[in-house]
Amino acid sequence: MNIGSRFIVLLLLVAGLGAFSEAKQLAVIVDKTNSLGGLSAPDLVKVFKFDSHKWPDGRPVILVLRDPSTPEMQTAIQKLYHMQVDEFKALLAAHASGVIVVRSEEELLKSVESIPGAVGLVDVYSINGRVNVLKVDGKLPLEQGYFLKGN
The reply to whether 148 falls in a domain is no
Q: Are 48 and 80 in contact (CB under 8 A)?
A: yes
Number of separate domains in the chain? 1
Identify whether 4 is part of a domain: no
pLDDT of 9 higher than 70: no
Residue 111, domain member (yes or no): yes
- Asked if 44 contacts 100 with a C-beta cutoff of 8 angstroms, the reply is no
Residue 1 lies in a domain: no
pLDDT 10s digits, 117-150: 999 999 999 999 999 999 999 999 999 999 988 6
Residue 50 has pLDDT above 50, yes or no: yes
Question: What are phi and psi for residue 28, nearest 5 degrees?
Answer: -90, 120
Whether 5 is covered by a domain: the verdict is no
Residues 55-79, mean pLDDT to the nearest whole number: 89
Residue 143 counted as domain residue: no
What's the CATH number where 42 sits?
Answer: 3.40.190.10
Please report, as a single letter, which amino acid is at residue 70: T
In a domain, 76, yes or no: yes
Domain carrying residue 28: 23-136
**What pLDDT, on a 0 to 100 scale, did the predictor assign at position 32?**
95
| Mean predicted confidence (pLDDT) in 32-58 | 93
